[in-house]
Structure 1
């Protein structure tokens, strides 16, 4: 279970998916919440941190 939704694993490819599918109303309420997505500033800060970490790894090789 994740966030109250049951997860099922495909026996062929092991992909996890929600079953049964949530209603359109639940999907919209989840993904259209103002706090669901990062702000542009937060995304930029996260990406800059990840880039700096990659530079450090490459420099250590």
Structure 2
């Protein structure tokens, strides 16, 4: 559970709802970057896979 990240999560949801997009997560150590990436991966489940760093649409 990530607290205080509603704006970032909404942006991730918006990106996943479109046809194309990119997500860059950066910041100081310990601010929750990994948690946001885990959220994005969970929301994108079934939408894409990333073999070798490339994303391919599955649905």
Please tell me the TM-score bracket, short chain as reference: under 0.3
Q: Which has the higher contact order (CA 8 A, sep 6+)?
A: 2
TM-score (norm 2): 0.26
**For the pair shown, which has the larger CA radius of gyration, 1 or 2?**
1
Relative to the length of structure 1, the TM-score reads 0.26
